[in-house]
Amino acid sequence: MPNIIFLLLAAPFYLISLLPLRIHYFISDSLLFIVGKVLGYRKSVVTVNISRSFPEFKYDLVESTVKSFYRHLAEIIAESMWMISASKKKLSKLVKIENPEVLRAIFSAKRSVIVVGGHIGNWELLTKMDKFDERLPLGYCGDQLKFIYKKQHSKFADRFVRWIRESNSGIELIESNSAARHILKNRDKTACYFLFADQAPLPGSKFVTKIFNQQTLMINGPEVISRSAGLPVVFLNMERVKRGAYRVRLTLITDDPSKEGEGFITERFAALLESSVNANPHNWLWSHKRWKRTVQENILKS
């Protein structure tokens, strides 16, 4: 797409992003009504996912969790729009990292690290991670922060997603198809790689664990890459404390993947993810068709 056309389409979004965050939240309240009530965006998927994951929930609790999820989703959209032009000072007030020393210690040893997380909290804000708190630096900053992402089918959509995530930040985006190759090729350079590994894996994936009361296929890319490159793995949990306030906590899964048994890293990630979602059931991306293929169907496609 020619640059001039993209700029004309992106300009209104940038101008809207300049509005105060409280205005974006006001808009999100209207968006909540449209997305959840009028359009019913994937409501059946959300309801079924929550019901199966929490069989102990009564009907009223399922419904209230569904409503809370849509409110959370609307706020994610509002915050993601706002962050396009938000200053470091404003971003630092929105997200606090409780224990940045986990990453800072690895950085001080001049090592790269894989940070594995899920679509919990507002994962889009993580692309501004080096701006969260000036008093507690992570060590890694700018283009040392590298986010693995799935390329969009539409060229315009892909460029727009990259623009939102790269704007007002020095981070680097790496397409998932080339992530392993990139990490192995640059293993001598200090970097912090973010991989979101809670989505449904590609057909043929065989790693299975039980989370959310269901046999669940897991992406084991972070484990495979960390073993190949000899990189420590850290789990990132992000939860909304209240509107306009997030808390991030880091947990070291392993400092040396070679010392762990096969499947340990993936199992540990799954357990930490499940624990995080259990603590805040509305805080996950329930609209994703996470269990769209059974274990048997997936293995048969291998």
Going along the chain from its start, the domains and CATH numbers come out as 91-300 (3.40.1130)
**Of the candidate ranges 27-41, 202-216, 239-253, the one whose mean pLDDT is the lowest:** 27-41
Res. 21: pLDDT tops 60? yes
Write down the pLDDT at residue 267. 96
Write down the pLDDT at residue 250. 96
Res. 163: pLDDT tops 80? yes
Q: Do 286 and 45 form a contact (C-beta atoms < 8 A)?
A: yes
**pLDDT tens per residue across span 47-102:** 999 999 999 999 999 999 999 999 999 899 999 999 999 988 888 889 989 999 99
The structure's pTM equals 0.91
Tell me the mean pLDDT in the region 139-165: 87
Write down the pLDDT at residue 255. 96
**pLDDT tens per residue across span 222-253:** 999 999 999 999 999 999 999 989 999 999 99
Write down the pLDDT at residue 297. 65
Task: Please tell me which residue, 221 or 54, carries the higher pLDDT value.
Answer: 54
Q: Which amino acid is at 162?
A: R
Write down the pLDDT at residue 118. 95
Mean pLDDT of the chain: 89
